[in-house]
Structure 1
């Protein structure tokens, strides 16, 4: 009987992909948590942190155990998710330290030439919305052109933050810029300046007094501007937008998930009669960690655990809304994280605010499994089997072609699409993933390659370089706040480090020619795949270059004058959520 089990589902799928006028197109709800570890969820093995709503979603649908983020950092991973393409193809991968946008007044962002799944399904008659974190740019030439805004990428509606949530956005939680400040070599600078003064006094310095003191003033000015940047950072970068209007600047973070959830529910209610795509992009559980009063102190894992529980509550609210509106059976729901947990995150009070990677090594900003192996849960009653577990390599880039095929949109043929339609694998029509190779980038540098041979149970993974952990026996980079991809923070390997993840998922013991007879032949195949992949890349403008990510005053979004430090509060959701909390 089992061989005929999914014939009705295949028939349903044909109905759901009918033309737009029939009203039978499936809806899409995607929920992405920021920096959530795969080991933070009960359905992935956590026994001390309660996530009943997400666990129920996994029981009712398909759980992917080898679901891979296309990048281990927020901005490139999200670009890949939306477009189905490695971020290096769209210029959303950096050459150097900074792989994400840090200022709202940067000019880089997801290029308008890129096709997102929202842009593709909008043409098919879908209402589209992104609620929560964007982190893919805002403006190009002036503070109101919104060239990188979600509205420019196929989303009809936007409510959330253009930037990521940082500890600067919470009073009393310090600043992420202190990590930059702490790496300024003040002692050598001080010694150098004192030496220059002494040499100048003794007449041993040949420069004029004017040049000398101008240099001292310049150094003092740079340090003062840095202090001013830290002071103004929350007002300039922590704001909420509805559409293209700033409705709160700076925002209050502790009720932000409540407000976002309310916005998501309102969107579902408004669009229950037409096909829709909702991308709910959580602000939590990124640094600085926060939780609303309803959840603070409820977990065994401090503020981070409280935040995970609040995320789970929000997932439950969205699923309850789908049920109430009789939309659940016609909606593909996808729940994931953008990358692994931020293991280096320590609060100003010395508390660990990072998540849990389970058995996997390291976390965010690395291509060890803990940095890129993420939750992947898909649910669609009557179309996808319930309680199914798939241990095949899949990618967050696979959502793009999956959505387009279901919505009846054509896959673009003028560019390389790196994702593959997940439906055949999810429904059991095929047993193997279409990803024979997955390429793991650290910023714009090809860091590692995963190979799933067609006729083998092995899953090979080769590292060309690895981050230097500090302390050396740890699996994090506490001396740099995140792991960097460049010298002197990495070690290069020749030959590459090689692992068989099917036997060593913790990446604890690299193989050698002595321990693996296929060592050289495996690396030969991987090198050939790298060569083919590299040839498929075309030069594009880098959107996260130093000139693109630097703060530009003329691009600064501000809901009042700069002299008033950009302050406003006109979000109706604030009063609505406050009234709801008082009733509870």
Structure 2
């Protein structure tokens, strides 16, 4: 073969590899996945076999259920529901009906990890530098360099910032990302309740760090069963009992499928395969753990990865929804059907063990539904998606139920947030708040019980790099410094953010920018820099052609 033939073949191979770089990178990533042992039994520590003597006051249990990437319109509580109400969510809805619906409940952030950090600490994550969602460098590079087909706004990957990443975090190993973690000096609600004699349990997703000092078992949890990463497979891709949906336009989806293992760990031990569909398995274990602790006060943080991508449903749930014709929507709806059923199983176990009257149950989602799955109605009636601070990204379903303490059927109108879960759970358990740091959240119980009037918060803040937001009373200002753009809305008159008012309200805009600057002065430098900046269009999901003049924000991570 002549030399030029070899050169031509080499260049052709390079071209094919470049065009299929996501597939090539995926094959490399899959080869680097850690060894996963076969399924093994989990033995939860057993509490007392007998209940406390009659008349002895027992502190309430706290069960916190955190859905992942659930859109405001994914449940039927508000009259809508996924696939236009095709999938009722009676169990999730029942928490709101039997307790309080926080009508204006806000996530701690528009993405997974900072929102979870706000929940666990009761503090804005910018106070301790946990500003961005931990992600492998390969993920940041893929999302920061691969635009959607025919995109008019390109993402950016900041290669020059790699030198500023924490030591070890840029290594090409699956565990390198674990170094991006919440500082061990932060006090979680689990740690606080543990000090009150509570047995503390974590099941599911963690995403707050995986090095010593930042793992759940180091941050106040007596027992932890789940996974450290921000996502997981629900079943192996080719399992006969699974129905999959892939989004070919989405670089996040392209990264997740080859990179995610199907595994859990118990108390930091060996990684092993769950038994069955992940949400079902975690609930099986949650039910067992509740029963094991029925005779002592416990705090359970149940955080399944449902309904985060990859989109995987059981075939049984998928087959139960033949009326939904769109395949992707049907898979997504089947995942919601499964999640609601599993929430019902947890509530049923509390009742079976005689615990539901003495248990504070909290339900919410870490952020709004993701636009990158390509489904247009999941956050309806709000604009925006996960990663944006428009209402669709942060206005979350948020319920609390505590019989005898919270009036059934309550609707609380003033804005509250994930940051309030810490102080509310602490108050229910009789735990004093830490005095050595600012706690941004407040105990909501006095407001719900009519013992305290007025707003729990005059202001709420969000920040992701250069993208910053303040809610001041009923007015909300978003500032994208990268775009030199602001959006001002009066949510009392315009809750779905349709009428932008910064031009009509220059003095208010200036004053609210000053509020953001003052909050920035109380924040610390991020623990690591954002490596990517990408556009998220507000009024349509990904997979839809971008058009000039359409509204978008620049998301930093």
Could you say whether these structures have the same fold, taking a TM-score greater than 0.5 normalized by the shorter chain as the test? yes
Structure 1 contact 91–544 (Cα < 8 Å) conserved: no
1:533 to 519, 526, 539: 519
Structure 2: unaligned runs, 5 residues or longer: 1-54, 141-173, 239-243, 533-557
Alpha-carbon distance in 2 for matches of 1:376, 1:545: 29
2:58 to 4, 9, 24: 24
Aligned residue number for residue 498 of structure 1: 488
Mapped pair 1:255 → 2:281: no
Structure 2 contact 191–219 (Cα < 8 Å) conserved: yes
Mapped pair 1:464 → 2:479: yes
Aligned residue number for residue 43 of structure 1: 77
- What's the CA shift for 1:129? 0.7
Alpha-carbon distance in 2 for matches of 1:176, 1:398: 35
2:219 to 153, 160, 179: 153
- What's the CA shift for 1:507? 0.8
Structure 1: unaligned runs, 5 residues or longer: 1-20, 140-145, 184-228, 347-351, 453-458, 466-485, 548-584
- What's the CA shift for 1:70? 1.5
1:246 to 257, 264, 270: 270
Alpha-carbon distance in 2 for matches of 1:330, 1:171: 41
Structure 1 contact 130–155 (Cα < 8 Å) conserved: yes
SS across alignment from 1:425: helix
Mapped pair 1:507 → 2:497: yes
After TM superposition, the runs of 4+ consecutive aligned structure 1 residues lying more than 4 A away are: 95-103, 166-170, 172-183, 229-232, 543-547
Structure 2 contact 246–310 (Cα < 8 Å) conserved: no
Aligned residue number for residue 426 of structure 1: 448
2:207 to 114, 128, 135: 135
Q: Structure 1 residues 46-55 or 121-130, which shifts more?
A: 46-55
Alignment of 1:220-299 (within 5 A): 233-235=259-261, 238-248=262-272, 255-299=277-321
Aligned residue number for residue 440 of structure 1: 462
Aligned residue number for residue 338 of structure 1: 366
Rate the CA distance shift 1:446–1:89 in 2: closer, same or farther, 3 A: farther
Alpha-carbon distance in 2 for matches of 1:118, 1:177: 40
- Larger helix fraction of residues: 1
- RMSD (Å), alpha carbons: 3.1
SS across alignment from 1:336: strand
Q: TM-score, normalised by structure 1?
A: 0.68
Structure 1 contact 35–337 (Cα < 8 Å) conserved: yes
Aligned residue number for residue 8 of structure 1: none
SS across alignment from 2:460: strand
Task: Indicate the structure (1 or 2) with the bigger Cα radius of gyration.
Answer: 1
Alpha-carbon distance in 1 for matches of 2:528, 2:487: 31
Rate the CA distance shift 1:269–1:310 in 2: closer, same or farther, 3 A: same
Aligned residue number for residue 378 of structure 1: 400
SS across alignment from 2:351: helix
- What's the CA shift for 1:149? 1.2
Rate the CA distance shift 1:302–1:240 in 2: closer, same or farther, 3 A: same
Aligned residue number for residue 398 of structure 1: 420
Aligned residue number for residue 550 of structure 2: none
Aligned residue number for residue 79 of structure 1: 117
SS across alignment from 1:340: coil
Rate the CA distance shift 1:425–1:166 in 2: closer, same or farther, 3 A: same
Aligned residue number for residue 365 of structure 1: 387
Alpha-carbon distance in 1 for matches of 2:385, 2:331: 19
Mapped pair 1:69 → 2:107: yes
Aligned residue number for residue 126 of structure 1: 198
Rate the CA distance shift 1:525–1:275 in 2: closer, same or farther, 3 A: same
Structure 2 contact 233–278 (Cα < 8 Å) conserved: no
Encode CA deviations 1:19-60: one digit per residue, 9 max, x unaligned.
xx9542111000011000011111122133210111222111
Structure 1 contact 168–175 (Cα < 8 Å) conserved: no
- What's the CA shift for 1:344? 1.5
SS across alignment from 1:245: coil
Equivalent pairs, count: 429
Q: TM-score, normalised by structure 2?
A: 0.71
Encode CA deviations 1:228-266: one digit per residue, 9 max, x unaligned.
x9997344xx421111113425x67x6111110111111
